[in-house]
Structure 1
């Protein structure tokens, strides 16, 4: 798992995967229901950073990324 993701537990079970900033990548805190969705958000943020694009609006960007990929989740409903 990426160092940009922390797990929030509820009753000892992973409840939410939250993006977090590190020294090399400053991310907004976004919550996802699966580790894979959080990893995708980190990958999108790293790609945007590599192309000198703004990642402040990553939450809005992720809605469209999921929709483009045809993923139905809490973000797209």
Structure 2
């Protein structure tokens, strides 16, 4: 697939398509896909590219950030 990355505009013969929530996206790298699609931590603002944690519709990169934001019931491990 040749396509133009929707993040950086690069024309790349190895571009790939991602379908997320019914929307089609074209990227030239996982880095650009992460920039466009990964949620941001509500506390520190980093991209959540691992499992992360979620509470009341908000995403956090870790229970530490969730705790700092006032969400005390989440844990990284049980």
Q: Normalising by structure 2, what TM-score? A: 0.29
- Say which one has the larger Rg: 2
Q: Which has the higher contact order (CA 8 A, sep 6+)?
A: 1
Q: Normalising by structure 1, what TM-score? A: 0.29
